[in-house]
Amino acid sequence: MDNSWILGLVGTLLSFILLRKSLRARINRSRYRSPLPLGTLGWPLIGETFEFISCAYSDHPESFMDKRRLMYGKVFKSHIFGNPTIISTDAEVSKFILQSDAKVFVPFYPISITELMGKSSILLINGSLQRRVHGLIGSFFKSPHLKAQITQDMQKYMQESMDTWKDNHLIYIQDETKNITFQVLVKTLISLEPGKEMEFLNQIFQEFIAGLISLPVKIPGSQLYRSLQAKKRMVMLVHEIIQDRRRSNSRNSRVPRDVLDVFLSDTSEQLTDELLSDNMIDLMIPGKDSVPLLITLAIKYLSDSPIALHQFKEENMKLKRQKSKLGESLCWSDYMDLQFTQNVLTETLRLGNIIIGVMRKAMKDVEIKGYLIPKGWCALTYFRSIHLDEQHYDRPYQFNPWRWQDKDTGSCNFTPFGGGQRLCPGLDLARLEASIFLHHFVTQFRWVAEDDSVINFPTVRLKNRMPVRIQRRFNVMHDPLSLSLSFIVECGFPLEGNEDESNSVTKGTKTERCSFKEDKP
């Protein structure tokens, strides 16, 4: 009995000590642990999704964020697309999220995207495999050999397309750029030349990307189902190319000529045919999305800014005259050295926000700048709000390429291509393709842009596909008068003094007139 009493007393004392330590640890955690950001989770199940989407479709898509920033600060909690989410419009917090590895944050996308991309997509894989795939793609995209080939292909396909354009006719920039950049990118990836296979791939690829942002319903007839069927057909085509290439490479060793060759030269067993097929298809997306939209938006912004357009044209005309006198073709470094052109592209990326943000999922509790992002919650880094923040950019809604003359594009306030280990490996390639198109377009054509507006959700695009009425330039190489005439047209003055209202295009407070005659039926 005495021993039992002693053991009971010792047990009670130990329990008391452990309970006290537990309570003290809990008190310390509550005292020092960062709190959840302010905000609201909205309605049960749906959260604030409907309001988020409603604002995204409006002319001011960041209004959802602006309203909550005023109430809760630049980092706040919400509940969108079925998930509790911490939304960051703070540059430093967003940078931390983007630069964190898979032990802290992993990619998180809507169900429709994960279904279509597949588990082996570079967008979804993590760890050493992601670093290997990203590194292989990045090293090839940065190689001088590829840049030279891209320059040659882009110039060739562009000229072939431009040769079919007729004076005084409308062309749709968004459509033209999608066709050209897609062909260039597909050749870069799998060396597929224009022809029946390219036409087939182009057609079914449209069906594929149509389902990236769609209802997660896979029943026959639904958009996601149709997109999945299109993906299967593309995989079959790419898989045949992979098999042919493996047989060819086993007989002949050669320098990699495309991204597929780079992958096949790697002996890792992780790089299966399934992974290669998925990633070849996924890497085609910029050819139909981000790159053509960058070009299209740049032309829209330049069309609305005559002074910027004039300086842009003068810089490119100067380069063209210099190379013409030397009898040389333009190389990739010539395009990338066009300083004002690069500033125009940078400003287009900032103002256009082709990628509005990135979603991640927290793998553990994360504390940053006094905020807690709980394990299992989503984190949305909303680039658009950062790029349009008055604290970072003076008059942020104004197209102003000159702001980048002395500004660092490597700042955490500017993240159009994401960041960290998942920084877009093709960012230099995108700039190069855009620079080439814009150079040849502005040096060969004058144009009048028709009214159009930007749609920001579910993806950024021009409502009317950016229609412009074109006319080929005079020979401006040695004719100063032609240069002055083209400047008059571009700055909104009448070429022949024609005051006919049918030849006027009104944009806001600016009316542009030119002597182009309307197409007759």
**The amino acid at 390:** E
Cα–Cα distance for residue pair 475/211, rounded to 1 Å: 46
Residue with tokens 């040769």: 163
Q: Taking the chain, what is the end-to-end CA distance rounded to the nearest angstrom?
A: 113
Q: Which residues pair with 78 in a beta bridge?
A: 85
Q: Which two tokens stand for residue 366?
A: 């994360």
Cα–Cα distance for residue pair 237/192, rounded to 1 Å: 11
User: Can you give the pLDDT at residue 259?
Assistant: 93
Alpha carbon dihedral 306, 489, 461, 283, in 10-degree steps, equals: -90
Could you say which DSSP state residue 474 is in?
P
When the pLDDT of each residue in the chain is averaged and rounded to a whole number, the result is: 85
Residues of the chain predicted below pLDDT 50 = 1, 16, 20-21, 23-32, 476-521
- Three-state secondary-structure class, residue 195: coil
Could you say which DSSP state residue 473 is in?
P
Q: How far is CA 398 from CA 58, 304, 463, in A?
A: 18, 11, 20
On whether 378 is known to bind a ligand per the annotation, the reply is no
pLDDT tens per residue, range 416-434: 988 888 888 888 899 999 9
pLDDT tens per residue, range 99-111: 999 999 999 998 9
Cα–Cα distance for residue pair 138/301, rounded to 1 Å: 30
CB 341 within 8 A of CB 335: yes
